[in-house]
Amino acid sequence: MSQPTPQVAVDQPVPDFELPATGHDQPVRLSDLLGDRHLVLYFYPRDDTPGCTTEGKDFTEQYARLEQAGARVLGISRDSLKSHDKFKCKYGFPFELLSDEDERVCELFGVMKLKNMYGKQVRGIERSTFLIDRQGVLRQEWRKVKVPGHVNAVIEALESLDR
């Protein structure tokens, strides 16, 4: 099975999309989030697992700096909205989580990959982060993210956008 090609590219506008989100009665549209803030979209494999919890906590601990750098943060996984609500509440994340159960947005960003888990190949989200500017243009991407130090790299990239 070949890996999908992402439909997003650095320095190109990101196609509009909408997904259900925690804290919202209606789906959230990318186009509605643009204008006043940059957008940090981070894709993670699964709610309430060790790496994903650490990553969410890191974004939470640095949230004030991310906001100061002009960003809105959103996490995306294939988990249900109900799962997201529990995960967000359990750890007090100050940002919303988007549910991509049918993988449309995951495919758009090309984050669905074959991974080895306990000796078997499984299809899942490759931990990835995307920085979209106020106009909806993808400015930076991080793929195969290692959690330690990642949020600081995102903040540095954000701060360089407005220089």
Supply the residues annotated as catalytic: 52
The amino acid occupying position 51 is G
Nearest CA-CA partner of 96 in 76, 80, 70: 76
Strand 28-29 to 138-142 pairing: unpaired
Strand pairing partners for 113?
Answer: 124
Helix (H, G, I), strand (E, B) or coil at 29: strand
Q: How far apart, in whole angstroms, are the C-alpha atoms of residue 88 and residue 155?
A: 22
CB 106 within 8 A of CB 43: yes
- N-to-C CA span, the chain: 43
What is the torsional sign of CA 68, 54, 40, 74?
negative
